[in-house]
Amino acid sequence: MAGLKILSVTSELFPLIKTGGLADVAGALPLALADLGHEVVTLIPGYPAVMEAIKGRRRVHDFDDLFGGPARLWRARAGALELFVIEAAHLYQRKGNPYLGPNGLDWPDNAQRFAALGFVAAEIGRGLDAKFQPDIVHAHDWQAGLAPVYLHYGPEPRPKTLITIHNLAFQGRFEASLLAKLRLPVEAFTLQGVEYFGGIGFLKGALALSDAIATVSPTYALEILGPEAGMGLDGLLRQRAGSLHGILNGLDREAWNPEADVHLFTRYKRAITARARAQNKLALQQRLGLKLDPQALLLGVVSRLSEQKGLDLLLDVLGEFAGSPLQLALLGSGDPVIQQGFARLAAAAPQRFACSFAYDEPLAHMIQGGSDAFLVPSRFEPCGLTQLAALRYGAIPVVAHVGGLADTVIDANAAALQAGVATGICFYPVTREALAAALRRTLTLFGEPKTWRKMQANGMSADFSWDQPARHYAALYHQLISA
């Protein structure tokens, strides 16, 4: 099949700017598509970290007024990533988190900041850069959601549009009074357009008006058709079910590779895993001030701390395991109440429970390489990337049986154990009782080294690279173009 030109539109991009899995996906998918012969350029806001990282700039266009000030569009590179970057000091020249101010609240002008992203994407879609006319505009999440909307209400011809939902919980809802300021036509404010519960919905508009919708796992694609996971958008998604595709994320196998991971005490391949992992476990225990106990079951967590991630349940059940050889290495940040809970836990038993409330890439890798099991008790999980890293690193994933977790971990039930295919422990419903039972099951399996090692080997040989997902996306792009 012929190579396509794809404009990927995103508000986060690993390794330049990241708050979660969206950055990982936006960073890895273009490279996997390039390996298949497609030309992908990513449009990203010019946050300080992005402006500092880009090389070989070419000026594409100057905007006199991009939602409140002048702006310049650059074509540039950062490492292997091909980029369009919007330099707009009035919108993006702010340090720290891309969405929140220093007070922890959304920037008050997020509507304008991310409307600008969609607006420029649509302009590129219509030929702003004569050297890159995209066949497809691929928007990611609500921040890029207005790209297909501006294209829909603008002149023909236009490229085909795709929106990928990475998390339906984040929808980009703003006041209706912003309609004209956001350069949206009056006719866009309808049920078929951006109108959403009386306001403007960036994601809602994209779901209504993109040529196709993707989300990041097949199970999540089904879950969001129901009222619970659908979060107000399930009705619209049911209408568009024929255009909704569940494409599982991959893992960036260069960023997450135990054979070459500079953050590990000892790097390892499958053949020498047990000894190397024991050394990494010891190094992790030492770094976190845990008891240096090779026999303890060291449970790792790397997560945003939010209601979604279900870690409040872990706080509830740990009391039951006072007499068990269970240790915890938790790295996360977010909800201050959940954080306080874990801080109290660690203060009461620092040799058993270590909790670090930072964003710490090296420690995230150490936890994957040094913990015995890796917990993801999410109430919902569109795909989840940490369990994929855990599989690759030989940490046994203990996960809620929802969304992408259900699509990537094979529970060690009797049938899977007999067939020799188990890779982890799954539980459902997502309750404290089910989590406690899963942890008891994990302790039992940990006491059966042969079974444990078989599960580790199964997980480490599973292929969750980007190759298959990139082929799926490429097939979808072709399908859209020939429609």
Comparison of 26 and 54: residue with beta carbon closer to ligand ADP:
26
Q: Is 361 in the site for ligand ADP (CB under 6 A)?
A: yes
Shortest reach from residue 415's CB to ligand ADP, in Å: 28
Residues 5, 57, 240, 304: which binds ligand ADP (CB under 6 A)? Answer: 304
Q: Is 385 in the site for ligand ADP (CB under 6 A)?
A: yes
Residues 362-381 that bind ligand ADP (CB under 6 A): 364
Helix (H, G, I), strand (E, B) or coil at 130: coil
Shortest reach from residue 98's CB to ligand ADP, in Å: 13
Q: Is 112 in the site for ligand ADP (CB under 6 A)?
A: no
Q: Is 21 in the site for ligand ADP (CB under 6 A)?
A: yes
Residue at shortest CB range from ligand ADP: 21
| Pair type for strands 136-140 and 425-427 | unpaired
Q: Is 287 in the site for ligand ADP (CB under 6 A)?
A: no
Neighbours of 81 (CB within 10 A): 23
Binding window for ligand ADP (CB under 6 A); candidates: 103-111, 176-184, 202-210, 296-304: 296-304
Alpha-carbon span 324 to 440, nearest angstrom: 9
DSSP letter for each residue of 278-331: HHHHHHHHHHHT----TTSEEEEEEEEESGGGTHHHHHHHGGGGTTS-EEEEEE
Q: Please tell me the number of Cα atoms within 13 Å of 391 on its side-chain side.
A: 28
Shortest reach from residue 185's CB to ligand ADP, in Å: 33
Alpha-carbon span 381 to 406, nearest angstrom: 9
Residues 111, 329, 331, 426: which binds ligand ADP (CB under 6 A)? Answer: 331
Comparison of 304 and 440: residue with beta carbon closer to ligand ADP:
304
Number of residues that bind ligand ADP (CB under 6 A): 18
Query: DSSP E strands: which ranges in 123-252?
Result: 136-140, 160-165, 173-174, 195-196, 199-201, 212-215, 244-246
Shortest reach from residue 409's CB to ligand ADP, in Å: 13
Alpha-carbon span 49 to 359, nearest angstrom: 16
Binding mask 156-185 for ligand ADP (x = CB under 6 A): -----------x------------------
Residues 45, 201, 250, 332: which binds ligand ADP (CB under 6 A)? Answer: 332
Neighbours of 270 (CB within 10 A): 12
Helix (H, G, I), strand (E, B) or coil at 68: coil
What is the chain's alpha carbon radius of gyration, rounded to the nearest angstrom?
23
Comparison of 167 and 210: residue with beta carbon closer to ligand ADP:
167
Binding window for ligand ADP (CB under 6 A); candidates: 104-112, 356-364, 406-414, 418-426: 356-364
Look at the block and give the residue holding tokens 């990927």: 8
Q: Is 26 in the site for ligand ADP (CB under 6 A)?
A: no
Q: Is 146 in the site for ligand ADP (CB under 6 A)?
A: no
Residues 208-247 that bind ligand ADP (CB under 6 A): none
Residues 303, 371, 408, 458: which binds ligand ADP (CB under 6 A)? Answer: 303
| Cα separations in angstroms, 90 against 45, 66, 104, 182, 309 | 12, 9, 19, 15, 34
Alpha-carbon span 199 to 148, nearest angstrom: 18
Q: Which residues bind ligand ADP (CB under 6 A)?
A: 20-21, 24, 167, 302-304, 331-333, 359-361, 364, 383-386
